[in-house]
Amino acid sequence: MPTPSLAETIDPATARALAEGRSGDPFAHLGPHLRGKRGSVAALIPGAARAWVLAEGRKPAPMAPHPVAPDLFLGPLPGLGPYRLRAEAADGATWDWDDPYRFGPVLGEIDEYLLGEGTHRRLWQALGAHPITHEGAAGVHFAVWAPNARRVSVVGEFNRWNGLVHPMRRRGATGVWEIFLPGVAEGAAYKYEILGADGHVGPLRADPVGFGAEHPPATASVVRHPGWDGWNDAGWMADRAGRSDVTAPVSIYEVHLGSWRRVPEEGGRYLSYAELARDLVPYAADMGFTHLELLPITEHPFDGSWGYQPIGLFAPTIRHGTPQEFAAFVDAAHRAGLGVILDWVPGHFPTDAHGLARFDGTALYEHADPREGLHRDWNTLIYNYGRREVANYLIANAVYWLQEYHLDGLRVDAVASMLYRDYSRPAGDWVPNVHGGRENYEAIDFLKRMNVLAYGECPGIVTAAEESTAFPGVTRPAHAGGLGFGYKWNMGWMNDTLDYIRRDPIHRRYHHNQMTFGITYAGTENFILPISHDEVVHGKGSLLDKMPGTGWEKFANLRAYLGFMWGHPGKKLLFMGQEWAQGREWSHDASLDWHLLRDPAHAGVQALVRDLNRLYRRLPALHRGDARAEGFRWLEPDDAERSVFAWMRSGEAGDAPVVVAANFTPVPRPDYRIGFPAPGRWREVLNTDAGVYGGGDRGNLGGIETEARGWHGQAQSAAVMLPPLSVVMFEHAGAGGPAGEVP
């Protein structure tokens, strides 16, 4: 019996729909099918004049075009084995390929169930583009969520970016579309063409779960393997929990990889991940930092967003190399004793045409109502946290980075903008919650679930919230009613102390409480004290530039401020360049001014930060009580007239206390009496006025002896020399070794 004609087996309306890209069920018609009593193969081949079915050991079998859709061909099915197709264009060019429509689905029933339920913890293993071998053929499995689309096609060089060639299979009610394309390999660029519910084809879209991307300004996704199989950090992973605990010395070096250092001999190009592993990692380790925090390295189209407007949430930016090279960078950091924290942005996304905005022709990832879905400050869109698939997408993304790239934590950006429906909105421009209030219950629930899953799935990690309000319980466990973060950035401390230190010392007496107020709430959350990139950009000047006075006084003020910060309860975070007093404000377009380290004043600040980090790690009193009220005690909080502060830090039982004193005027205080908690000799383990730091070498000749004279509520006291614009620290002579020594 002859093969039935296409006109007999595929009706004209269906044929036109296939040829015009309007069919939402291409697998029902294309590929091998039983038509009548014989098997046949249908293939949509735009640009072909003739076509054949190929099977091993058989002559090529001609295929016939459909009478109303000449790009649609039908030929005989050559048995039950695999077959290939061949086409010839009008100019005589020919090409052969495996028919993707002869392959069955890749996603299983469990995937389909979890995707539909919005609980797929390994979402990235189901969606995205995965090089696999399927039914004996090597290729790539593509899967994307677009529930309101009429048709989704994957496009790339492999099909000349023609959306008519590879329409995908819809998986039931999940809204997921998939296809396996044999012959496609890692490195292929691709996008999705989507026919929306309104019947219009939107702009080509990058893959929301793409693991790689083209170099900007190109915007396609690229087929990549996520993660790495060359890890050599098992020892680090096994004991990393103790390195970020609230009782550990956590000192974070915040870095923008694109401007930490560049290669001027090659047009100022970025360093690669391999070069950053070679240069940045040993530098941060030598400086005594415990963690690197990377400004967002998720793929983003606009350099000027610094990564805070990401589109490729699952892709390490190609600006510095491949996913495997990024993983090797993390591995190098771990082997050097450094944790790596990723700045993560689940609060909003940009409106770029190739991104998530109205992805399938509808407000899919975002809210439809701009009063909920538009972030007016940044002209970005806000995720719809109440939609289970969107929350699943973001939560799985958090776990993805922690698992696939062994990251040690996530710093969650702009949490305050997520918690409140009226954030930065005038009256009438926001939608109240179900109780008429301003709290965003859906975002709150999302953050709790993200933290629960991240900590549960990835032992030893830590999450930190950039949260600028007094929202309660940010670092309280989710099961106890909190948001479940490990740390919260202390924005109040940062704002108060920077406002104080920028004032002329003669006026500081009137703002004394700005330096003491932070202690009143220091034990309410697990705090990080951040001097971040946000404080040294957009006209705010560098940290050095904020300091008043002459050139010498600016450096002295800065050294004293850093000493105050390291002596204050809370983990530490310093943005790159501030550890050696970068002179100008940060620019993402240029390298830091490393040549300044030839100046002894800048080199002195660098030496100070290195010693502060080492001292912070060596002395338990300076870090074990960072998040406990009993870890701090004022000795002198009220001497506003002389702008002097003195306090005591303590750790756990058996840890020797540390006494810290600060003088924020340019007037030396040669006989300033301070109470001490124990008798005997106290070593001066840090003096920000030391000559090695660029100071005047005024101090206490290595230490002091106390006398039995009650002061500041202590039975012992001593007259101490407080140099101008300085911080000094004292350790009891019976404890530890010299300053800067690290066990």
Q: Where are the alpha helices (DSSP H) in 595-662?
A: 600-618
Q: DSSP letters along 449-483, please?
A: HHHHHHHHHSTT-EEEE---S--TTTTS-GGGTS-
CA distance 576 to 516: 27
Place of tokens 């915040």: 254
Q: Where are the alpha helices (DSSP H) in 434-482?
A: 441-457
Q: Where are the alpha helices (DSSP H) in 103-223?
A: 109-117, 123-126
Tokens of 713: 């509520």
Tell me the β-bridge partners of 349. Answer: 381
| 599 in catalytic set | no
Asked if 17 contacts 23 with a C-beta cutoff of 8 angstroms, the reply is yes
| 413 in catalytic set | yes
- Residue 687, classed as helix, strand or coil, is strand
Q: Is the dihedral of CA 592, 596, 602, 608 positive or negative?
A: positive
Kindly list the distances between the CA atom of residue 318 and the CA atoms of 14, 258, 352, 413, 423, in Å, as whole numbers in the listed order: 42, 11, 18, 22, 33
Asked if 450 contacts 443 with a C-beta cutoff of 8 angstroms, the reply is no
Backbone angles phi, psi at 601, to 5 degrees: -65, -45
Catalytic residue, from 254, 466, 655, 689: name it.
466
Catalytic residue, from 325, 413, 626, 731: name it.
413
Asked if 568 contacts 529 with a C-beta cutoff of 8 angstroms, the reply is yes
Kindly list the distances between the CA atom of residue 299 and the CA atoms of 242, 276, 369, 430, 505, in Å, as whole numbers in the listed order: 31, 18, 27, 30, 45
H or E stretch including 690? none
CA angle 722, 723, 727 (to 5 degrees): 70
In this structure, the strands spanning 176-182 and 169-171 are antiparallel
CA distance 643 to 101: 78
CA distance 595 to 603: 10
CA distance 481 to 496: 29
Asked if 648 contacts 633 with a C-beta cutoff of 8 angstroms, the reply is yes
The amino acid occupying position 297 is I
CA angle 383, 385, 391 (to 5 degrees): 100
CA distance 633 to 644: 15
**Number of neighbours of residue 549 by Cβ within 10 angstroms:** 14
Asked if 28 contacts 100 with a C-beta cutoff of 8 angstroms, the reply is no
Q: What is the crossing angle of helices 441-457 and 388-404, to 10°? A: 30
- Catalytic residues, by residue number, are 413, 466
